[in-house]
Amino acid sequence: MFTPFLVFGQDQVYFSETWNQDGGESALFYKNSSTTDDAGNVYMAGSAININNNHDIIIQKFDPDGGLLWEEIFDGAANMDDFAADIFVDDNYDVFITGSSVKLAANDQDLVVLKYNSSGVFQWYSYYDNGGSPTPKDFGTSITGDNNGSVYVTGGSFEATSNSDFITISIASNNGAQLWETRYDFAALQDVAAKIKYDGNNLFVSGGSQINFNRWELATLTYNPLNGDQLYERRSQGNATQGIDEVYDLTVDNLGNVYIAGAVRNLNSGYDMSVYKLDPQLNIIWENHHDGYGADDRGKGVKVDDLGNVYVAGFVSNPNEGKNYSLLKYNSSGVLQWAREFNGQANLDDEAVQLVIASNQDIFVTGTARNNANADFQTLGYKPNGELFTQAIFEGVNGLDDMPTGIAIDLAENIVVVGKMREANGNYKDVTVKYSLIERSGIAITPSNGIGKYLNNNVIVKFDKSQLNILNIDRKAFTAGRLDEFVDINLIGQMSKLTGFNWNRLTTYKIHRNATSADSLSYTRLGDTIRLPEFWTSLIVEIPEGYDELYIADTLKSIFGIHNAQLEYIYHTNSVPNDDFYGNYQLGLYPNSIYPNADINVEGAWEILDNNATDIGSSDVKVGIHDHLIDYSHFEFGPTGTLQDSKIRGGKNYKLNTNNIVNANTLTISHGTQVAGIIGANRNNDAGIAGIAGGDFAADPLNRVGVQLYSLGIFYLNWNTPSSMVAEAMIEASLNTNTGYGFGLDISNHSYGKFETGDKTVRDALKISWKNNTINIAARGNNGADANHQNIIEFPACYYDPMVINVMASGNDGEIKDLSNGSGNWASSYGVNGSIPSPSCKVDIMAPGTNSLVSTTSNSLDASTQSTCNVPNSQNNSNYSCFDRTSASTAMVTGVAALMYSAHRPETHWRYKNKLTVEDIENIMQKTASNQNTYSINNGYGLLDAREAVNQITSPYTVRHRNFYSWEANSTNMGVLNNFNVSKFGEYGIPEGTQFSSANKFKMEWDVSYTPSNGNEIIDWWESESLQKGGASNYNIATSNVYNYEINGDYFWENYTVDIPNNTVSGTVTTFYYFMSPGAPYADFWFPCPPNEIKYSYSLHLLNPTLSTSNQEFNSNITIYPNPAESSITVTNIQDFGQKRTIQIFDAMGREMRLINFDNNTDSAKQLNIDINSMSKGIYFLRLDDGSKHIIKKFIKE
């Protein structure tokens, strides 16, 4: 029994580069062009530099898989410069090229037409030489044919007056004989034809035509294709008095209407994009000019869809962003339907050059985009409604400027882009790139066996790297293809045999689309360099209909060379500054009388940071929002509404596989924007809400802007996303590799999850992120009242506790949100179900999650949020809304974690020797929460106390990491083990059951003893597993379960004691490692890692009482006894303090527990008895102060 539903909202498109091939070198200004035939072959015509440093015409034909079928070079008789301008392939697959060639040196350039048959055999050439003087130039610019014996060419031809005319000629396709020619000269000035089209009845030519020395117009002509007679003429009418009207493209629809795109210079706005619709007689049906921002704009391509809608591609000049791609859609009547812009990541000039329309009416635009200092091909796919749904980037091998010149589409809907890529010598090489559009359909299955929702017909398979085609893995643009393009054919044979169907040509998708096998090292947030597992070896494979996905996955696991196979699971979203809405609508942040027990006291945290001159969220700290894309245009994120001026400093749309998130301001789902607002909306900006780590706008609007936000769009246009996308984002967010891959985030917020079974792909991704020291914070879920999923476990929050901070929602009373203490018919999931103890999920912390307590930002186009609560929507036309559930709670915890991480860094104060790990933040949040370090099933450790959490990592407190490296240990060779079998070395490329010839066993031991200095006192400690690496078991190495990796996989035997009363650590830590010798053909290797990488760590929470006051610490012989004590203590030798004495007793968290004021009127008062019977067990500090000096002593209450 199962229930299907749609996952992606629409198909997820993989716009995968099938192949790219290059040709000869040429100068930049030499054009190249391409076309396809109905067999899927691809043709390119361009120019190539010869040995004499002149240019020859080059023609290439590729098969559908990118194989070069033939390449021909044409060198004109004079051995001078020749170039190709356009290419046409007829129904017989004969190839025709036009351009210019020098037949005789004295005659300069002549228009040339070449013919090759389908096999690349040269058939004929035809020259046209008008003999103009003193400028005897003739050249072809465009070519077409009628598939009935004629080809037609247009271009420019100079007369004796040194001016050019349109020249249009008809040539017999069988022998190259000229059938007719016709010229067009409007005013005895310059006329240059640019495009020619044949619609089956008429021939249309368009180009630029000069009317005086300062002005050009667009001229469009209709000819009779039988004899070349001119039938009609149409010239453009702009309102400019000077300048040029330019034509770049011409197309004809099925009714014979003509469409022309170009540029018209208008008086007040420079050049504008222009588009004309003419009837077959060239009467104007309509004309439109599009002015972007009052600067130069140009239309470069025009196409018409099956419904008569007209699309124009080009560029507009944006005053803040340089040139941007521009795509315009007009209906058949010329009414603008929408306009779209695209700005490359470098915020420099980006220009679209041409477009094509697919049979399903999708539009593909290519052009030059700058995502860094150099230009790339960037091809975008749009839906008819203007939605950008896919894109692809081509970056040449040299990493220099790459510039496309044209785009084509074949009958199989593959996209072909041609252009030029720059060489190191300054020349440009012709390049042809073919893309395939592969759509992943999105039907999810809800099974009845409790394994959780998953995507049908999909399995995720992790292969051994030895079984992969590394060349294709490392091609970043090759994101999807056939399985046999990725995986060894012999392994595929085993897969086919065991499952009963052929896997060779099954569609396969990369998970980590921008990672390669070179991503082997990562630089963690705490400064370590760690070796990465081969995460890039996981692929998604679509299997045929009708097979049980779980059975197939389990079957694949038995094959050597496959490390894991699983389902593609489905995840879903969980849903005193001067800021105007802070006082009434963010009641969960500060103490108030309306909900007196429900807040997390962020105001207290802000006060501590202000008093320590620490930013309310450091601009160096990077926080990722794994969610829907953030609407950066909200004024709470930046002053101008643009991405580059916002605090969203980067991100990625994982569905479109692009780092360009500029379209996030056009989306209507606010979930990511709501999460981001809680964490990082501008604080103290005299408007709206206050982000927890949103800086201090009033103090310094330029530099105290709060944490950096990164928008990681794992959801797009709907509320569900698959395992593969969650894992890809989790790893890319965290890594900072040797190749530059990854965002290197400090903190990641995960307000989403999935039910029931775990997900090894995502779990392994979370482990990689954890070991890179990213602090991951995840929502526990909202199913505490769901009878069908009673407190069901949810991931990633319920993975191994040290890896992730697991957040519940609290209600209006500060207790866990249930059906009675806040709006909504829902309850937060909790720890362990009392009646069903397994499976369990240990929760960490609570934070407010009701509409009454939480308000935040929402998308400017999201109308739905305005009806959910009464937050005003009155400022800067920007949206706000209330927000609830564990999504909101998680964002609150992330915001406080960002405050803690910002405050405790070596850059902030010399006392902070290291940044904080997830274990540090989790332990401090837990012990400072409302339950005071006591765990309960319902409330975890209680309601977050932001003030105390921040206080506990701010001087005089600190967290100190004690790291122990292999070179500090005592290593002992324990001897050699011979001739044994192991069963868990598949991930090392060793088949299960392999007879190992030997293994050398080593023991590594550290003395981890330590005594803090300089007045620091140990008040707590915990193991720092995220900093640990390596270490193996001491058991018999042949035992089958020894190497079945647990979630951590690091084995250390701890034999040390942290003696808090005596302020010492003493003892040892031991681990083992092995040098494995499996024997031929397998290479020897270290297990579990090379010994130089093994590391052990723990954290000490320290307090330096001497730093908590400004007066002098007194050195005396005051003592406290008994210590430890049960009911009372005696403080002795206090006579050296003055008459006005104050005694304060603080717990280990710095909270004042007792205050005693007394006068000393007699010199004989040498001691004081204090009753501590009512105090809880723990560590306390007694401070004796007379106003001029003080002393601090530690004691233990048992």
First to last CA, the chain: 58
Q: Given pLDDT bands bounded at 50, 70 and 90, which one contains residue 1112?
A: low
Average pLDDT along the chain: 87
What are the angstrom distances between the C-alpha of 964 and each of 7, 674, 911, 1025, 1094? 47, 42, 20, 12, 9
* Domain covering 1110-1197 assigned CATH 2.60.40.3080 in the classification: yes
User: Which among 673, 613, 610 is positioned nearest to 647, based on CA atoms?
Assistant: 673
User: Which among 705, 697, 701 is positioned nearest to 617, based on CA atoms?
Assistant: 705
Choice between 140 and 999, residue whose per-residue pLDDT is larger: 140
Contact 745, 624 (CB under 8 A): yes
Asked if pLDDT for residue 569 goes beyond 80, the answer is yes
Per-residue pLDDT, averaged over 255-281, amounts to 88
pLDDT at res. 1143: 85
Angle formed at CA 570 by CA 569 and CA 575, multiple of 5 degrees: 145
% pLDDT > 90, the chain? 52
Catalytic residue among 55, 290, 671, 904: 671
Amino acid identity of 311? Y
Lowest-confidence pick of 153-157, 163-167, 524-528, 1049-1053: 1049-1053
Domain positions in the chain: 32-354, 460-541+548-567, 574-944, 962-1103, 1110-1197
pLDDT at res. 1163: 45
Lowest-confidence pick of 269-283, 511-525, 767-781, 1129-1143: 1129-1143
Q: Given pLDDT bands bounded at 50, 70 and 90, which one contains residue 789?
A: low
Asked if pLDDT for residue 657 goes beyond 60, the answer is yes
Contact 489, 505 (CB under 8 A): no
Asked if pLDDT for residue 411 goes beyond 90, the answer is no
Lowest-confidence pick of 208-212, 373-377, 629-633, 1113-1117: 1113-1117
Residue 1171 exposed, middle or buried by CB count within 10 Å (0-12, 13-18, 19+) = exposed
Backbone dihedral region for residue 9 (phi beyond 0: left; psi -120 to 50: alpha; all else: beta): left
Question: What is the side-by-side strand order in the sheet with 1178-1185?
Answer: 1112-1113, 1189-1197, 1178-1185, 1140-1147, 1152-1159
DSSP-derived letter for residue 359 is T
pLDDT at res. 1041: 35
Asked if pLDDT for residue 602 goes beyond 80, the answer is yes
- Beta bridge partners of residue 233, listed in sequence order: 221
CB within 8 A of 577, min separation 6: which ones?
606, 683, 684, 690, 698
Question: Could you tell me what percentage of the chain is helix, strand and coil, using 3-state DSSP and rounding each to the nearest 5?
Answer: 10, 40, 45
Full DSSP string of 247-293: EEEEEE-TT--EEEEEEEEETTTEEEEEEEEE-TT--EEEEEEE-SS
Question: Which structure tokens are listed for 784?
Answer: 């505490």
Per-residue pLDDT, averaged over 329-352, amounts to 93
Choice between 504 and 1145, residue whose per-residue pLDDT is larger: 504
671 is catalytic: yes
Asked if pLDDT for residue 1108 goes beyond 70, the answer is no
Asked if pLDDT for residue 8 goes beyond 70, the answer is no
Among 3.40.50.200, 3.40.50.10860, 3.40.640.10, 3.40.50.620, name the CATH number for the domain at 574-944. Answer: 3.40.50.200
Lowest-confidence pick of 413-417, 648-652, 664-668: 664-668
Q: Given pLDDT bands bounded at 50, 70 and 90, which one contains residue 865?
A: low
Per-residue pLDDT, averaged over 608-627, amounts to 92
Model pLDDT for residues 39-76, shown as the tens digit of each residue: 989 999 988 887 878 888 999 999 998 899 999 999 98
904 is catalytic: no
Question: Which structure tokens are listed for 1085?
Answer: 């290797």
Catalytic residue among 108, 305, 410, 627: 627
Per-residue pLDDT, averaged over 330-347, amounts to 93
Asked if pLDDT for residue 579 goes beyond 90, the answer is no
Asked if pLDDT for residue 959 goes beyond 60, the answer is yes
What are the angstrom distances between the C-alpha of 96 and each of 152, 169, 250, 1190? 10, 14, 20, 97
pLDDT at res. 216: 79
Location of structure tokens 């002149």 = 54
Q: Residue 1145 half-sphere exposure, CB side, CA atoms within 13 Å?
A: 20
Q: Given pLDDT bands bounded at 50, 70 and 90, which one contains residue 536?
A: very high
Give the integer Cα–Cα distance in Å for 27 and 49. Answer: 8
- Domain 32-354 classification at class level: mainly beta
Contact 454, 442 (CB under 8 A): no
For residue 1081, say if its preceding peptide bond is cis, omega within 30 degrees of 0: yes
pLDDT at res. 1118: 81
Choice between 895 and 1151, residue whose per-residue pLDDT is larger: 895
Kind plus residue range of the DSSP H or E element containing 670: none
Per-residue pLDDT, averaged over 764-773, amounts to 95
Asked if pLDDT for residue 318 goes beyond 50, the answer is yes
Asked if pLDDT for residue 239 goes beyond 50, the answer is no
pLDDT at res. 31: 65
pLDDT at res. 1141: 76
Catalytic residue among 887, 902, 930, 1097: 887
DSSP-derived letter for residue 925 is H
Location of structure tokens 């605090």 = 647
CB within 8 A of 1137, min separation 6: which ones?
1114, 1160, 1184, 1186, 1189
pLDDT at res. 1116: 66
pLDDT at res. 459: 96
Segment of 210-224, 292-306, 819-833 carrying the highest mean pLDDT: 292-306
Contact 110, 58 (CB under 8 A): no
Q: Given pLDDT bands bounded at 50, 70 and 90, which one contains residue 842?
A: confident
Backbone dihedral region for residue 289 (phi beyond 0: left; psi -120 to 50: alpha; all else: beta): beta
Asked if pLDDT for residue 825 goes beyond 60, the answer is yes
Q: Residue 824 half-sphere exposure, CB side, CA atoms within 13 Å?
A: 27
Asked if pLDDT for residue 240 goes beyond 50, the answer is no
Asked if pLDDT for residue 870 goes beyond 60, the answer is no
Per-residue pLDDT, averaged over 550-557, amounts to 94
Give the integer Cα–Cα distance in Å for 272 and 267. Answer: 10
Question: What is the side-by-side strand order in the sheet with 322-330?
Answer: 298-304, 310-318, 322-330, 336-342
DSSP-derived letter for residue 206 is E
Give the integer Cα–Cα distance in Å for 620 and 690. Answer: 19
Choice between 517 and 1108, residue whose per-residue pLDDT is larger: 517
pLDDT at res. 838: 58
pLDDT at res. 384: 96
Per-residue pLDDT, averaged over 564-586, amounts to 76
Segment of 99-108, 205-214, 896-905 carrying the highest mean pLDDT: 896-905
350 is catalytic: no
Lowest-confidence pick of 823-832, 914-923, 985-994: 985-994
Lowest-confidence pick of 457-471, 813-827, 1153-1167: 1153-1167
Q: Given pLDDT bands bounded at 50, 70 and 90, which one contains residue 1111?
A: very low
The SS3 of residue 903 is helix
